[in-house]
Amino acid sequence: MADPFTLNDSDYIQTEPWPVPKSVFIIAEVGINHNGDIDIAKQLIYNAKSSGCDAVKFQKRTIDIVYTPEMLDQFRESPWGKTQRKQKEGIELSEAEYDEIEAYCKKLEIDWFASAWDIPSQHFLSKYGLKYNKVASAMTPHREFIDVVAKEKKPTFISVGMCEYDEITHAVETFRKHDCPFILLHTVSEYPAPEANLNLRGMIDLRERYGCLVGYSGHEPSVSPSVMAAVMGAVAIERHVTLDRAMYGSDQAASLEKHGVDAMVNQVRKVAQVMGGGVHTITDKEKDIAAKLRYWL
């Protein structure tokens, strides 16, 4: 798979009415669906690799920065206790576990990266020398955070769910100011997102408005929208993955299980093949069949 940030004209099968890449960069978003269990995290990485995904992505938070003390003291029933703090701490991975993820991904030869939800978490991730950064939709309007990420000049996926145009514009301008490559990911931040709300043509709006590469980050529990996004020119597709949608966790229901990831990757990979060159042609076999069926010519 070509790096989605370095595509050139030869990497596309067509340019009109919108550019369609020959291959789409597929990201399996583990996120927090590991539920703080490194063995589940490794299983999801293995599944992503075996399904043909190009990368896996996690989420990293510093609990006492991302959430207020009042919120953390609130009641929440979870496998780790009865407060929001216990639940939030329970789903975070330790530095030693991230070291395991780094080693395991190197062993399987699959890229990994993560979306940080605060500046110290971004600095923490930078020690791994990851190939990509990711800005979660919740963090795209955070100007100080955006500036920190852009200054790294590392190719970055930017999700724009819940974002107004002025917030997206500021992020785009910041990344361009720091000469940092980026791809905007059209996103609907509902978990799961109803298909009627997906508005995939929003990708075209983003591409034309900002003159940049675009992709799709989906939260729907179905495969077809990702395939449609590929047909519409997404250079990258990110989908949450899970072992079981019935597992504990706020993102599980918006995720694809292994069989769904297999189907999505298989169908997305076919897009360039079946779309062809965009000019009506007659195949050699058609000519032979025409000679038989059009005997009256």
Residue with tokens 């995290």: 41
Q: In 166-211, at which residue ranges do the beta strands (DSSP E only) sit?
A: 182-187
Say yes or no to pLDDT of 47 above 70: yes
Q: Pairing mode, if any, of strands 111-116 and 81-83?
A: unpaired
Superfamily for the 11-293 domain: Aldolase class I (3.20.20.70)
pTM of the predicted protein model:
0.95
pLDDT digits 0-9 by tens, 222-255: 999 999 999 999 999 999 999 999 999 999 999 9
**pLDDT (tens digit per residue) in 56-72:** 999 999 999 999 999 99
Residues in the chain: 297
CA atoms of 256 and 22, how far apart (whole Å): 24
**Which tens digits make up the pLDDT trace of 137-152?**
999 999 999 999 999 9
How many whole angstroms separate alpha carbon 256 and alpha carbon 263?
Answer: 10
Query: What integer pLDDT is reported at residue 1 of this predicted model?
Result: 62
The DSSP code sequence of 106-143 is: HHHT-EEEEEESSHHHHHHHHTT--S-EEE-GGGTT-H
Q: Give CA 240 to chain center in angstroms.
A: 8
239 SS3 class: strand
Helices and strands (H and E) in the chain: how many: 12, 12
Residue 170's φ and ψ, nearest 5 degrees, are -65, -40
Domain residue ranges in the chain = 11-293
Q: pLDDT class for 17, splitting at 50, 70, 90? A: confident
* Residue bearing tokens 């508005």: 199
36 φ, ψ to 5°? 75, 10
Mean pLDDT of 94-122: 98
Of 44, 60, 108, 104, the closest CA to residue 247 belongs to: 44
Task: Please check whether residue 157 is in contact with residue 27, taking contact to mean a CB–CB distance below 8 angstroms.
Answer: yes
**What is the DSSP code (8-state) at residue 92?**
P
